Amino acid sequence: MSGPTPDPDRSPDGGWRRGVQVRELEDCPHFNAGRGSVLTAAGTVEMEACVMEGATLRCGAVSGLSTVANAVSLARLVMERTPHIYLAFDGAEAFARDQVRRAFLLINRDVVRSCSSIFF
Tens of pLDDT along 65-79? 988 888 888 999 999
Contact (CB, 8 A) for 95 and 75 = no
Q: Rounded to 5, what percent of the chain is helix, strand, coil?
A: 50, 15, 40
Contact (CB, 8 A) for 33 and 26: yes
Question: How does pLDDT run across 100-120, given as a tens digit for each residue?
Answer: 888 877 666 655 454 444 443
47-67 residues labelled b (16+ CB within 10 A) or e (exposed): bbbbbebeeeeebbbbbebee
Most confident by average pLDDT, 15-24, 63-72, 83-92, 101-110: 83-92
pLDDT in tens, 38-67: 778 888 888 899 999 989 999 999 999 988
